[in-house]
Amino acid sequence: MAVLTSEGMGARARWRALAARPDNLAAALVGLVFVAAALFPKGLPAGIGLTAAVFAARASLAVAGVVLIYRTNRIVNVAQLQLGAFGGVLFFHLIRNHTVLATLGVDRPSQWMLHLEYWGVALLAVALSALCGLATYVFVVRRFRDAPPLVGTVATIAVAQVLTWAATQVPNWFEEQTLGGVVPPPMTVRFRVAPVLFNVAEVAALVSGAAALFAIAFFLRRTRMGVAVRASAENPDRAASLGMNVTKIGATVWTLAGALSGIGAVLLVMSVGGGTGGAAAGSLVRVLAAAVIAGMVNLPLALLATLALAVLDQSFLWSFGNATLLDLVVFLLLLLFLVLRPVPRAGRVDPTGGSWQAAREVRPVPQELRGVKDVARLRRRVAIALGVVALGFPFVMSPSQTSSGTVMLLYGIVGMSLLLLTGWAGLISLGQFAFAAVGGWGVALFGGQLGLPFLLALPLAGLLGAVASVVVGLPALRIRGLYLAVTTLAMAVAVTSVLLGERYGGRLIPSTLDRPSIFGLDGADETVFYYLALAMLALVTVATVGMRRSRTARALIACRDNDRAAQSFGINLVRARLETFAVSGLFAAVAGGLFAYQQGGVAAGNFSPDTSLTMFLMVVIGGLGSIAGPLLGAFLVGGLTIFLPTYVGVFSAALVLVILTAAPGGLTQAAFGVRDSLLRRIAVRNRIRVPSLLADGRLFPTDEKAPIREKATPVPTRYRLPRRPLTVPKVAANAKGRQ
């Protein structure tokens, strides 16, 4: 009996160990997806399954690129789809207008000429995409090789913005600016697998996808460079110590990822269409979700997850005529996977990416200088200048520019919510504007549909956003970093398509939303609403300052830097993070509610996932080490929106890359650096020793005056003495004796 009991206990232990492996959990979720797709009302016909395989073949190219880059550089390449955007758009317009043949003077091309042009331009597009991947590594990724993985991931977000802007400029090169359509191969191949009719584009997608994946497998298994890539993925430092050229390996992988993205872009133009250069956020989320489910390293499992999501997508379309719910399913799958996934052990590589540690704290004014009149005068002048600018803005701007200024203030509130999550807790949220969308939907429901007053509808919407933020933050109690960033981005896509969609949550709210009257003032006036947003931003700023002085904020910052050490001192990490998520969601939802009133309704386009990425780049520009950081970032982005609306995205992305390279603390680091230099001059002038400003107290002795540089008076050339060598007269050896 004892033997049976021990055997039973051993079997249960083996089962638990088997279930605790992340790959087995991911495989179980993928199998569950296949089973659910088979149970749909209309089933899964062969033609629908083959269509899913075609979509999976295209998406698997991007998934393979994400996995390869993560295994090599430990970052999530958010720009994977955009690496091939430029080449895909160029391919579309060159083939659409037959530019190559027209340049060569061919008016009536033969069939072989059409084939030569088509496939030659396709190869050119793939080559350009590979070049984009190589340039991204050389000029961006390599500079952050020693930085935390999340810094490199944020850099790829900026790269995606730049590449998207570059792709949108391609149509301007052609007189016929076609913004959509399909350019199929110049041949006719059709066959039917009920109930779908397939053509040569689908066949090309299947063949190209399979060939590319086979080539990747052969490259990793049978070539010296592939073996080096696999070896460096385990431990780059060890690989470098063994004489491997890590830089060459990284360049090779990024070039390969760019080529894969280019092939996917060309295949997309062949069958679905293209020409604008934009990549849907939903497609990016599905690619990243498949990679996350596979642990970012298991390529076969990632490809299987890609096929499962494609099957689920086509099953939704076949059974319900709409695949919008797939965005919600992907978000719920990620939540379930991250909640059930065992916490990885600390090892050489942190698979979650760690935390955002580029948030450098800004030190306050030194205690020795707080009572100095010059310092008080300086602070008073800065406060007066900021107050005059903020209060006088509506009087010098047009109504449309005042409306843009209101949006800038609301962006500042969302930036404050990101300061709590990323700057204090070290948690990355790439979908923060989704909580603003929840708040906008809440005020439309409570204020527009139910008729509640503004002063009641806005707080209720804020509470709704706080609850949604806590639900999303549950996985952050166990796993954070890169995985949490993908989950929040998936939430942004799901909220936009489901909660704000006309078929689902959008049916519960009115299409328009009137601005409220605030204490007898007409909210329809742009100036009145501007001051309302300014008052709300001031209230949120004061609340944030009070929170920063609390024990919760100090505990969050301690946990951000070292989880285990902070918990060993009795800090309740679970409660602190949940409180942070709740307050962060509350701030963002309040901003979203005011944004909904300002826009006159809740439209999905106003709360797009791209706006969430812009919000994160905004706070990175401003800096996450001080409360002034989100305000500076919002001021800059708002200024670009007012004066240069066409170039907001590309300027912001370029500035992010510069800041991550030169000043990780953002504009706050530069601004407070100027402040410290002024304080240093004041300390010298008043003969005050300030150790926090001066590394060596001897530079400023109290018994000496402040050093003043002498002015150099230039002497005209005609009055200068000629330069002659200095000659020393010789003295006789016995001259001294004679004297």
**Residues 6 or more apart whose Cβ sits within 8 Å of residue 439:** 461, 462, 464, 465, 588, 589, 590, 591, 592, 593, 596
Residues 86-115: b if buried by 16+ CB within 10 A, e if exposed = bbbbbbbbbbbebbbbeeeeeeebeeebbe
Instruction: For residue 586, name the pLDDT band (cuts at 50, 70, 90).
Output: very high
Question: Mind listing the domains of the chain with CATH numbers?
Answer: 47-323 (1.10.3470), 367-677 (1.10.3470)
The predicted pLDDT at position 18 comes to 46
The predicted pLDDT at position 4 comes to 43
User: For the chain, how are helix, strand and coil distributed in percent, rounded to 5?
Assistant: 70, 0, 30
State the DSSP string of 29-49.
Answer: HHHHHHHHHHTSTT---HHHH
pTM comes to 0.85
pLDDT exceeds 70 at position 534: yes
Residues 297-320: b if buried by 16+ CB within 10 A, e if exposed = bbbebbbbbbbbbbbbbbbbebbe
pLDDT exceeds 80 at position 142: yes
Given a contact cutoff of 8 angstroms between Cβ atoms, the answer to whether 547 and 587 are in contact is: no
pLDDT exceeds 90 at position 203: no
pLDDT exceeds 70 at position 705: no
The predicted pLDDT at position 234 comes to 61
pLDDT exceeds 80 at position 722: no
Mean per-residue pLDDT, 191-203:
85
pLDDT exceeds 70 at position 632: yes
**Residues 6 or more apart whose Cβ sits within 8 Å of residue 306:** 56, 59, 60, 63, 286, 287, 290
Strand (E) or helix (H) holding 413: helix 399-418
The predicted pLDDT at position 2 comes to 41
Instruction: For residue 739, name the pLDDT band (cuts at 50, 70, 90).
Output: very low
DSSP 3-state of 521: strand
The predicted pLDDT at position 40 comes to 84
In the chain, the percentage of residues whose pLDDT exceeds 90 is 26
Tell me the Cα Rg of the chain.
31
pLDDT exceeds 50 at position 497: yes
pLDDT tens per residue, range 603-621? 888 898 888 988 998 988 8
Instruction: For residue 387, name the pLDDT band (cuts at 50, 70, 90).
Output: very high
**Dihedrals phi, psi of 248, to nearest 5 degrees:** -65, -40
pLDDT tens per residue, range 18-43? 445 667 767 777 887 888 877 888 88
pLDDT tens per residue, range 305-329? 899 999 999 988 888 888 888 899 8
> ∠ CA 577-582-584 to the nearest 5 degrees?
90
Instruction: For residue 716, name the pLDDT band (cuts at 50, 70, 90).
Output: low
pLDDT exceeds 70 at position 488: yes
Higher pLDDT, 190 or 275: 190
The predicted pLDDT at position 193 comes to 86
The predicted pLDDT at position 306 comes to 92
pLDDT exceeds 70 at position 643: yes
pLDDT exceeds 90 at position 724: no
Instruction: For residue 598, name the pLDDT band (cuts at 50, 70, 90).
Output: very high
pLDDT exceeds 70 at position 669: yes
Q: Give residue 687's identity as a one-letter amino acid code.
A: R
The predicted pLDDT at position 255 comes to 94
The predicted pLDDT at position 672 comes to 84
**Cα separation, 553 vs 547, whole angstroms:** 6
In the chain, the percentage of residues whose pLDDT exceeds 70 is 82
The predicted pLDDT at position 9 comes to 45
The predicted pLDDT at position 413 comes to 95
Strand (E) or helix (H) holding 192: strand 191-193
Mean per-residue pLDDT, 623-646:
84
Higher pLDDT, 735 or 542: 542
> ∠ CA 438-442-448 to the nearest 5 degrees?
140
The predicted pLDDT at position 204 comes to 87
pLDDT exceeds 80 at position 91: yes
pLDDT exceeds 90 at position 537: yes
**Cα separation, 52 vs 311, whole angstroms:** 5
Residue 511 DSSP code: S
Residue with tokens 């030569």: 116
Strand 517-518 to 521-522 pairing: antiparallel
Total residue count of the chain as it appears in this document: 739
Given a contact cutoff of 8 angstroms between Cβ atoms, the answer to whether 442 and 589 are in contact is: yes
Mean per-residue pLDDT, 277-287:
76
Strand 196-198 to 191-193 pairing: antiparallel
State the DSSP string of 252-290.
Answer: HHHHHHHHHHHHHHHHHHHHT---S----HHHHHHHHHH
Task: Enter the tokens of residue 543.
Answer: 């609340």
Average pLDDT value for the chain: 82
Higher pLDDT, 571 or 447: 447
pLDDT exceeds 80 at position 72: yes
Mean per-residue pLDDT, 685-714:
60
> Which runs of E-coded beta strand occur in 416-520?
517-518
**Cα separation, 212 vs 552, whole angstroms:** 51
Instruction: For residue 703, name the pLDDT band (cuts at 50, 70, 90).
Output: very low
pLDDT tens per residue, range 114-123? 889 999 999 9
pLDDT tens per residue, range 402-450? 999 999 999 999 999 999 888 888 788 888 999 999 999 999 999 988 9
The predicted pLDDT at position 738 comes to 45
**Cα separation, 81 vs 65, whole angstroms:** 9
